[in-house]
Structure 1
Amino acid sequence: MQTLTEENYLKAILKLSQSGLDKITPTAIAEEMAVNAASVIDMLKKLTEKEWITYDKKNGAGLTPEGNRLALNIVRKHRLWEVFLCEKLKYSWDEIHEMAEQLEHIQSDDLADKLDGFLGFPQFDPHGDPIPRANGTLPKLAKILLSDKEIGDNCEVVAVKDTSVQFLQYLKQLSVVIGTTILIKDKVAFDNSLVVSIEGKMNTVSKKFANSIFVKR
């Protein structure tokens, strides 16, 4: 059985591997988890001994098949709890992450399976992230950044790249949620900001905003 800290490390390594990072270093893990690099080295040794990861200075860290299974299971629980908190308890999408961080460490796989069934086997969480199935596979969704779309495109929001509380609250102010349609009216050459229509209301949004929203391809 893995500890809460071990689970957080496995989840962090999975996230970094999915980000396309060429090499997962202790420094990268420390930055992701907001801890010091010395403590990361100690934990990497423990995870290697348990055969959940492989690690050496040349190649960095990587999940073993068992480590990958454990990490995906943690992510599955987290995202299922986010759906539950949002859909059933009516928390907003900027409130659910921290609570799900605590609930994801409940060890019972049977509870996760029953929660999955109770929710109707959702494929994506409230932020548009795919929920791993019980067998570890991930549902696919063709998506592209809003910044990569063109003037005149009608874009349906399917996920958010930035799930920080500040950004999610900003999206609430703009009435942007999963499923919202954003019409690109113009692109400003000076700073690559976009003039958009959101639910019929005109707004100018930054390049950072456009790089933080995924829309249907």
Structure 2
Amino acid sequence: MTYSEENYLKAIYHLSLSQKQGVSTNAIAALVESKASSVTDMIKKLAEKELVIYQKYQGVGLTDKGLMAAKMIVRKHRLWEVFLVEKLDFAWDEVHDVAEELEHIKSEKLINKLDAFLGFPTEDPHGDPIPDKNGNIVKVEKQLLSEFEIGQTGICVGVKDSSSSFLQYLDKQQIALGSKIKIIAKESFDMSLTIEVEKKQIIISNKIASNLFAKIVL
């Protein structure tokens, strides 16, 4: 596969995680930043390689072969992110663009050795699951912080928005994976939250809370 074909497969994979039906070509075009006509041409190429199924008005879906290929691309991306953070001291907001380049390395042997070298991690620095060499994914029970009730406490286990600006904001607020967060109050007007984290209370917007995943601590 070409780099472009791999990027399309990964885009369809990510979009399909939040959709029960087929992924629309418009959604793919928005994610890969391309014209709808170019997306249609690429979908035809991927269909010829038996990587996707496309039915007009029903969207695009991955075949079993396409799903495994997409998971392996995601696997490489997230393993490289772990390597960059844990071994080369990159910040978690710096690794995405570098991993975008490294994910296209073809050597399966290299990736499997990288996985072993890192101790077979199951999550990347942003809390996203890493598929193993067979495509299996360890699922973590989590929910958005915005869905928590007053008085509940959670452990931050991931972010929905992995943009540099959002991650840098979290760094300023001393919110990271593993941080214990308690809901102190919730404003009915705008659903902003007063939370306790690192022994201090801060107010975060509903937008921030809707981009933080946490696991409830009983």
Identify the TM-score tier after normalising by the shorter chain. Answer: over 0.9
CA contact (8 A) 2:21 2:58 kept: no
Q: Structure 1 residue 198: deviation in Å?
A: 1.3
Output the amino acid matched with 1:184.
I
Instruction: Tell me the residue number matched to 1:158.
Output: 157
CA contact (8 A) 2:21 2:59 kept: no
Q: Structure 1 residue 166: deviation in Å?
A: 0.8
Question: Unpaired segments of 5 or more residues in structure 1?
Answer: none
Q: Structure 1 residue 156: deviation in Å?
A: 0.6
Instruction: Tell me the residue number matched to 2:49.
Output: 50
Instruction: Tell me the residue number matched to 1:203.
Output: 202
Output the amino acid matched with 1:145.
L
Q: Structure 1 residue 188: deviation in Å?
A: 0.8
Instruction: Tell me the residue number matched to 1:131.
Output: 130
Q: Structure 1 residue 185: deviation in Å?
A: 0.7
After TM superposition, list the pairs within 5 Å mapping 1:84-123 onto structure 2.
84-123=83-122
Q: Structure 1 residue 22: deviation in Å?
A: 2.8
Q: Structure 1 residue 152: deviation in Å?
A: 1.3
Output the amino acid matched with 2:29.
A
Instruction: Tell me the residue number matched to 1:189.
Output: 188
Post-superposition Cα deviations, 1:85-130, rounded to whole Å, max 9, x if no partner, equal 0000010000000000000000011111000000000000000000
Question: Unpaired segments of 5 or more residues in structure 2?
Answer: none
Output the amino acid matched with 2:139.
K
After TM superposition, list the pairs within 5 Å mapping 1:2-151 onto structure 2.
2-20=1-19, 22-151=21-150
Output the amino acid matched with 1:148.
E
Output the amino acid matched with 1:160.
V
**TM-score normalised by the chain length of structure 1:** 0.97
| Structure 1 residue ranges (4+ consecutive) displaced by more than 6 angstroms after TM superposition | none
Partners of 1:23 and 1:36 in 2: CA distance: 19
Output the amino acid matched with 1:134.
K
Partners of 2:195 and 2:162 in 1: CA distance: 21
Q: Structure 1 residue 21: deviation in Å?
A: 5.0
Query: Could you say what secondary structure the match of 1:43 adopts?
Result: helix
CA contact (8 A) 2:13 2:67 kept: yes
Output the amino acid matched with 1:155.
G
**Are 1:172 and 2:171 an aligned pair?**
yes
- Alignment root-mean-square deviation, CA: 0.9
Query: Could you say what secondary structure the match of 1:77 adopts?
Result: helix
Post-superposition Cα deviations, 1:1-30, rounded to whole Å, max 9, x if no partner, equal x11000000000001111125331111100
CA contact (8 A) 2:180 2:198 kept: yes
Instruction: Tell me the residue number matched to 1:212.
Output: 211
Partners of 2:118 and 2:63 in 1: CA distance: 30
Post-superposition Cα deviations, 1:20-74, rounded to whole Å, max 9, x if no partner, equal 2533111110011111111101101100111111112132111111111110000
Partners of 2:35 and 2:150 in 1: CA distance: 45
Paired residues, number: 216
